[in-house]
Amino acid sequence: MDIGIVGASGYTGAELLRLCAAHPDLDVKVATGDSQAGNRIADLYPSLAAAYRDRPYDAYSLDVVDGLDLVFCGLPHGISQSVIPEMRGKVGHIVDLGSDFRLHDKALYPQWYGAAHTSPELLDEFVYGLPELFRPKLIGAELIAATGCNAATAIFALAPLLEAGIIHGDGLVVNLVTGVSGAGRPPKPNTTFCTVDEDVQAYGLLTHRHTPEIEQALTERTGKEATVLFTPHLAPMNRGIIATCYGRPTGNADTAEALDALREFYRDEPFMVVDERSPSTKATTGSNTVHLTARVDKRTGMVMAIATLDNLMKGASGMAVQNANLALGLPETTGLPIVGVYP
């Protein structure tokens, strides 16, 4: 399959280049990075040198992607809205790693993203790219909006408990810790080394844009209205996310039942690990795997679920390749590592 990566100079683009280099069925014909056009990929990311040698980044134009089997878009929010409408019909499939087409309701974009959507007619045509919850819709899909990394972690933890009827959908609480690479490659005042080193800070208080995404996916999958208080925290680590999620129990379930709900929901899922062991971010580094656990606290009357994943893999580029495999009719696990890198 001939594929392109539009926005290949960012962290998710670099991860896509790494994954595609080892993928037996995806041949990267185009790798655009307008800020790096003409510069060698290996000069920006020496880790990719063995696969891409002297290959430069391409400048984007519609002509360079015309006729490709699939295009990944790893662009900042707001850019895909102008690029994808003209690209559609010129390529076989599009997997957008950004947030431009994740929400179905156009009215949510001014509220959570601060601007009206410029291509609202396409919102209902995109499939939400979370295979473990919406796989049938992704098989052969033309337009896929890959899930946000923070949202995916919370959804993975909460969906099984909500679907099993163990917790109520209202008043869900998600406390999440994420690594700095989730903010992207371009430097920002709040992501410099001196800012993040030896510091943990909550951000996006009550306003984080992944909130409606979490609520939408949980409600759509389970049929139960979900409301979420979501608070992310930036931690001084390169990669990884851990989400500790809380819900009010509907009955008298115990920890064994909560763990069984996770195991049943993810039965036969190759990228999901459910265990009594408390998950760690490092255990998922470099893999497309999610680690999960759950507890029921009789003392406080709360149910807790924890999920960890690598934000650049299962939270972004690994998830995107998984979606691409489904769209192209390839085995879903092709080219995706299930074992993390350690130490």
| Active site amino acids | 149
Give the amino acid at 138. Answer: L
Cα–Cα distance for residue pair 6/91, rounded to 1 Å: 13
| Secondary structure (3-state) at 272 | strand
Closest to 86 in 3D by CA, of 105, 61, 68: 61
Q: Tell me which residue of 14, 67, 19, 15 sits closest to 36, measured CA to CA.
A: 14
| Whether 138 contacts 327, CB under 8 Å | yes
Q: What DSSP string runs through 79-122? A: THHHHHHHHBTTBSEEEE-SSTTS-S-TTHHHHHHSS--S-GGG
Q: How big is the CA angle at 131 (ends 274 and 291), to the nearest 5 degrees?
A: 20
Contact indicator for 166, 258 with CB cutoff of 8 Å: yes
